[in-house]
């Protein structure tokens, strides 16, 4: 399986939908058929420009936290499953806090397919919209408190305690959400992103999944090569093409956003250098577009000292980057825990997979929601640095929530309520 992006293929005629192996059969299968129509309750899927990975069942679950030896537990789990004839990875999600338990597991069954060899999957019309009824939406924290949180963060920056901190908020939706329909909508809207639906049953949360479409690759590893693509510095997109381009160019030359971006790139490069014999760090960022946002982006590439190093171990050496926490990290995390107003859980953690050879992909769990039969909680954050404005940061988080709200079938308001 190639971990490097491929050029987009021409759309192909419909082909038969694959079925996963029978229960108890741990052998992997490969194919080029679209996997999403085979998705059912309890399944998990991670789709990137390089590969689709569709998993079913739990063979061995890991609930250790990073601070309790998660890396070694993951290595042992992959070793224990090494007697199988084919590919069985470790998949799932790791939370923002190193003290919280991860939700990782070796699946019973896997279907693996190339990524860009497929056209984006359509929304299943038989399953309808992602949300069944007009829901109640409750922002946590409320918009006014979020503005106060940003102001408090700016005060800590002004007094020299911090240089950057990411302030987040959430939106609780009280209506049943269809995970397959939501995942299909996310993939259709942004086929170049990192889309995922990770079942949380191994965390003791039956009927809930972490679902999202992240634009940010924390780490991809294939053999001795790694890539990380940190994002920091953002602006909402505009419907008018001329205004949209104006915003993109303004972001590219914004001193505030370039300063914020530099924190993240420097931190990622510093964390990767001990693992690498060579590292390529572009001197200036480029623009990356999603359907709702423009981002400053820098793709960092490296050659590893050890081609067998674990993608999970390297990703956790990067986590959390200033893109989701702040700088200095310890002080930023302390402020987040004190004033943000809700537990982040898996939001701003990492989501993806790795195998026994150490290869894998881990994306940042942003532009995501925890989704279940009784509703969903959507998350979004914004980086606060000197010069940030509370109203602008509130609007940025609302624009970021639009990724999930539009896929669910709801339009956001400025206040996100």
Residues carrying an active site annotation: 164, 216
Tokens read off for 250: 């303004």
Q: Cβ distance 130 to 378 under 8 Å?
A: no
Q: Kindly report whether the peptide bond that precedes residue 54 is cis, defined as omega within 30 degrees of 0.
A: no
Tokens read off for 46: 């991670």
Alpha helices in 159-310 (DSSP H): 179-189, 241-253, 255-272
Pairing of the two strands 51-56 and 60-62:
unpaired
243-255 core/surface letters (b: 16 or more CB in 10 A; e: else): ebeebbeebbebe
Q: Count of CB atoms within 10 A of residue 157's CB?
A: 19
Instruction: Compute the C-alpha angle 214/220/226, nearest 5°.
Output: 140
**Which residue do the tokens 């019309």 mark?**
125
Residue 268 has phi, psi (to 5 degrees) of -65, -45
> Checking phi first, is residue 360 left (phi over 0); if not, alpha (psi -120 to 50) or beta?
left
CB half-sphere exposure, 97, CA atoms < 13 A: 11
Distance between terminal CA atoms of the chain?
43
The closest of 238, 215, 260 to 368, measured between CA atoms, is 215
The closest of 332, 368, 333 to 347, measured between CA atoms, is 368
């Amino acid at each position: 399986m190639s971990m490097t992006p491929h050029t987009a293929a021409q759309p192909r005629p419909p082909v038969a939908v694959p079925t996963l192996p029978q229960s108890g059969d741990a052998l992997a299968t490969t194919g080029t058929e679209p996997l999403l129509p085979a998705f059912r309750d309890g399944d998990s899927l991670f789709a990137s420009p390089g590969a689709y990975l569709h998993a079913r069942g739990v063979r061995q679950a890991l609930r250790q936290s990073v601070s309790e030896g998660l890396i070694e537990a993951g290595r042992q789990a992959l070793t224990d499953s090494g007697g199988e004839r084919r590919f069985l990875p470790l998949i799932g999600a790791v939370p923002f806090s190193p003290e919280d338990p991860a939700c990782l597991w070796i699946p019973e069954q896997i279907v693996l397919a190339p990524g860009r060899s497929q056209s984006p999957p359509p929304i299943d019309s038989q399953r309808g919209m992602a949300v069944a009824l007009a829901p109640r939406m409750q922002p946590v924290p409320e918009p006014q408190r979020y503005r106060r949180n940003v102001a408090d963060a700016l005060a800590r920056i002004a007094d020299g305690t911090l240089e950057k901190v990411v302030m987040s908020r959430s939106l609780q939706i009280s209506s049943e959400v269809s995970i397959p329909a939501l995942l299909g909508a996310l993939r259709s809207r942004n086929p170049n992103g990192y889309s995922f639906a990770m079942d949380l049953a191994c965390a003791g949360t039956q009927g809930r999944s972490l679902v999202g479409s992240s634009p940010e690759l924390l780490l991809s590893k294939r053999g001795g090569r790694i890539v990380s693509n940190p994002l920091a510095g953002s602006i909402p997109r505009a419907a008018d093409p001329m205004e949209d381009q104006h915003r993109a160019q303004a972001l590219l030359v914004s001193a505030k956003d370039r300063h914020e971006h530099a924190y993240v790139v420097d931190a990622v490069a510093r964390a990767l250098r001990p693992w690498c014999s060579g590292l390529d760090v572009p001197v200036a960022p480029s623009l990356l577009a999603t359907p709702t946002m423009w981002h400053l982006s820098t793709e960092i590439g490296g050659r590893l000292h050890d081609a067998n190093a674990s993608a999970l171990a390297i990703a956790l050496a990067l986590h959390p980057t200033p893109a989701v926490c702040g700088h200095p990290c310890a002080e930023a995390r302390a402020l987040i825990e004190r004033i943000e107003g809700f537990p982040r859980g898996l939001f701003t953690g990492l989501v993806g997979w790795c195998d026994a050879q150490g290869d894998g992909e881990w994306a940042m769990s942003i532009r995501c929601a925890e989704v279940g039969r009784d509703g969903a909680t959507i998350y979004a954050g914004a980086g606060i640095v000197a010069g940030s404005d509370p109203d602008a940061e509130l609007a940025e988080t609302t624009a970021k929530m639009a990724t999930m709200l539009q896929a669910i079938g709801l339009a956001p308001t400025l206040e996100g309520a």
